[in-house]
């Protein structure tokens, strides 16, 4: 179980290719099986690469297991962050998030904002220029979440100032929790204070308006919480910071992964382009006055959903979860002592050859149904069981509240990406690594070539003139 206190943590967190589970996990599974004991993050731990146990853990949240992230995570995200809360308080925060991310809001306001922010980013792309696709994805999701949460407009000085502080904050979230002068963690704590003060000032402005009987016009999360909850100031600040973190970081990584996987799969790009050209063609033939995407258009993106599922399965943005046993648990002959940390490793199931055929291959067609079978499903698993074991957004009472928004973001971004560009990796390419958070060491440098057909949604002619000038 490794060295005293640190145990096997260093080996477990050693960077590895994101499309694998890493040498550490492979060796331990080979030696001990899919469920084994270890010592991680300073605690005795049960590690599970078993689909059945993982599902059992998620379904028994609050009964047999509960969320238990390292103390350093709570220190930087806040004690009222949805990521670390448990019990009734987590339920209340979750209800607020779900109400604001309602189906009706997704279909109207959020779909429009997702498309506007997608086009804002893609219209800045130029041919024969190398740029970071990862940074562009982060720009897209940050702008969207800043607008969605606090009605901040892209490019405005206050938005850019907040973004700069947030970048420093994120570097600390994913760094060792060393609270010494000059360390990324210490700088992140300082940026956290700056960000919270920024949010608090906007909150005070709106409370003052409400006290004066002035209607608050902003239709965002901050206004919704002030009007419909009795949360304290500290709780609101931590909620907004945690949703900014969750909504920005995971979605941007997923979009970068899609760009990376698709550049290596031209057949998938071809089929995507055909699907999205047909959507635009149908809109024009029906003489719709609006060119913007609507919910019916989104529901037609069937192969796009296959690409999204495969991106999430192979890339595994969230690789494992932190839980602890609330009581002694016995599962199929395995004993899990009360108080022990439990790590359900989602990535291990998604990359399990007994569940998915050739799991390291990017194969979006595995998600299509063909006469009751699914191409790309392992011979030992049916499409139904493979689907049930696919949990990129977690499960049970802690299922990610932003899962539908994340899929909407990816679909709309892919729609405009394939209609307007071909792309390739630049500067010798890049690869996704798990640190254990997923990242591209070179920030995923790419070059793009404009598409020239009647169904593009961005005017490349105007952009070419701007480049010449």
Whether residue 317 is predicted with pLDDT greater than 80 in this model: the reply is: yes
152: DSSP letter: P
Predicted confidence at residue 74, as pLDDT, reads 84
- Is the peptide bond preceding residue 285 cis, with omega within 30 degrees of 0? no
Give the mean pLDDT of 199-207: 94
- Give the residue carrying structure tokens 């809001």: 105
- How far apart CA 99 and CA 106 sit, in angstroms, is 11
**Rounded alpha-carbon distances, angstroms, from residue 143 to 273, 306, 352:** 26, 26, 36
**Structure-model confidence comparison of residues 327 and 41, the more confident one:** 327
Predicted confidence at residue 352, as pLDDT, reads 97
- How far apart CA 209 and CA 88 sit, in angstroms, is 31
Least confidently predicted of 246-250, 348-352, 408-412, 415-419: 246-250
Whether residue 467 is predicted with pLDDT greater than 80 in this model: the reply is: no
What confidence tens digit (pLDDT) does each residue in 374-429 have?
Answer: 455 555 555 544 678 999 999 999 999 999 999 999 999 999 999 999 999 999 99
Give the mean pLDDT of 350-376: 83
Predicted confidence at residue 377, as pLDDT, reads 54
Confidence of residue 289 (pLDDT cuts 50, 70, 90): low
The dihedral sign for the CA sequence 289, 293, 299, 305: positive
User: Looking at beta carbons, which pairs linking 66-70 to residues 24 or more positions away fall under 8 Å?
Assistant: 66/323, 66/324, 66/326, 67/321, 67/322, 67/323, 67/398, 68/322, 68/323, 68/324, 68/341, 69/322, 70/41, 70/177, 70/322
**Structure-model confidence comparison of residues 215 and 32, the more confident one:** 32
459: DSSP letter: -
**Structure-model confidence comparison of residues 2 and 92, the more confident one:** 92
What confidence tens digit (pLDDT) does each residue in 96-153 have?
Answer: 999 888 999 999 899 999 999 999 999 999 998 999 999 999 999 999 999 999 999 9
Least confidently predicted of 65-79, 257-271, 298-312: 65-79
Give the mean pLDDT of 244-268: 95
The two three-digit tokens of residue 321, written as one number: 């979860």
- Give the residue carrying structure tokens 């071909």: 422
* pTM of the shown model: 0.93
**Rounded alpha-carbon distances, angstroms, from residue 335 to 68, 77, 251, 320:** 19, 33, 36, 20
Q: Is the distance from CB of 181 to CB of 260 less than 8 angstroms?
A: no
Predicted confidence at residue 13, as pLDDT, reads 87
């Amino acid at each position: 179980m490794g060295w005293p206190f640190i145990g096997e943590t260093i080996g477990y967190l050693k960077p590895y290719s994101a499309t694998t589970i890493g040498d550490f996990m492979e060796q331990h599974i080979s030696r001990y099986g899919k469920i084994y004991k270890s010592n991680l993050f300073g605690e005795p731990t049960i590690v599970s690469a078993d689909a059945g146990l993982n599902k059992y853990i998620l379904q028994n949240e609050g009964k047999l297991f509960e969320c238990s992230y390292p103390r350093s995570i709570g220190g930087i995200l806040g004690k009222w962050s949805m990521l670390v809360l448990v019990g009734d308080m987590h339920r209340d925060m979750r209800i607020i998030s779900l109400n604001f991310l309602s189906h009706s809001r997704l279909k109207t306001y959020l779909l429009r904002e997702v498309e506007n922010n997608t086009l804002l980013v893609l219209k800045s792309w130029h041919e024969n220029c190398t740029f970071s696709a990862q940074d562009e994805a982060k720009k897209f999701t940050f702008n969207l979440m800043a607008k969605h949460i606090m009605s901040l407009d892209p490019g405005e000085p206050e938005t850019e100032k907040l973004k700069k502080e947030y970048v420093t904050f994120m570097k600390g979230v994913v760094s060792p929790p060393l609270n010494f002068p000059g360390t990324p963690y210490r700088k992140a704590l300082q940026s956290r204070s700056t960000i919270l003060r920024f949010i608090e000032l906007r909150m005070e402005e709106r409370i003052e308006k409400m006290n004066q009987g002035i209607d608050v016009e902003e239709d965002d999360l901050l206004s919704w919480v002030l009007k419909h909850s009795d949360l304290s100031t500290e709780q609101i600040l931590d909620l907004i910071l945690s949703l900014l973190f969750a909504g920005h970081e995971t979605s941007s990584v997923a979009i970068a992964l899609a760009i990376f996987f698709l550049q290596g799969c031209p057949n998938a790009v071809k089929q995507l382009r055909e699907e999205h050209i047909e959507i635009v063609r149908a809109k024009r033939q029906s003489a719709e006055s609006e060119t913007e995407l609507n919910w019916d258009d989104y529901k037609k993106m069937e192969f796009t959903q296959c690409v999204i599922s495969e991106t999430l399965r192979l890339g595994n943005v969230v690789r494992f979860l932190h839980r602890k046993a609330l009581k002694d648990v016995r599962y199929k002959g395995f004993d899990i002592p009360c108080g022990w940390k439990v790590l359900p490793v989602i990535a291990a199931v998604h990359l399990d050859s007994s569940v998915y055929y050739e799991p390291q291959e990017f194969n979006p067609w595995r998600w299509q149904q063909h006469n009751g079978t699914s191409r790309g499903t392992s011979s030992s698993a049916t499409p139904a069981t493979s689907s049930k074991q696919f949990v990129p957004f977690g499960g049970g009472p802690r299922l990610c509240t932003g899962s539908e928004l994340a899929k909407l973001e990816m679909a709309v971004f892919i729609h405009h990406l394939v209609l307007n560009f071909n792309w390739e990796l630049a500067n010798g390419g890049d690869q996704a690594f798990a640190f254990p958070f997923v990242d591209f060491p070179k920030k995923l440098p790419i070059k793009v070539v404009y598409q020239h057909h009647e169904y593009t949604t961005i005017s490349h002619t105007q952009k070419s003139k701007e480049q010449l000038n």
